[in-house]
Amino acid sequence: MIIDRRFAALLVLGWIIQITIVPHIAIGPAMPDIILIVVATYGFLEGPIPGGVGGLVGGLLQDLTLKGGFGINLINKTIIGYLAGLVERNLFGSSRLIPMIAMFIVSVISQLIYIVLIYIMGENIAVMTAITRIVIPSALYTSVVALFLFAPINRAISHERQKTVFK
Specify the CATH number for the domain of residue 137.
1.10.1760
- Rounded to the nearest integer, the mean pLDDT of the chain is 87
pLDDT, residue 155, reads 86
**Which residues constitute the domain of residue 49?**
5-157
Q: Is the pTM of this model over 0.75?
A: yes
Is 36 among the domain residues? yes
pLDDT, residue 134, reads 92
pLDDT, residue 71, reads 87
Taking 70 as the pLDDT cut, the residues of the chain under it are 1-2, 67-68, 88-94, 159-167
Is 162 among the domain residues? no
pLDDT, residue 93, reads 61
pLDDT, residue 68, reads 63
Residue whose C-alpha is closest to residue 120's, from 55, 77, 54, 71: 71
Overall domain count for the chain: 1
pLDDT, residue 30, reads 92
Is 43 in contact with 54 (CB distance < 8 Å)? Answer: yes
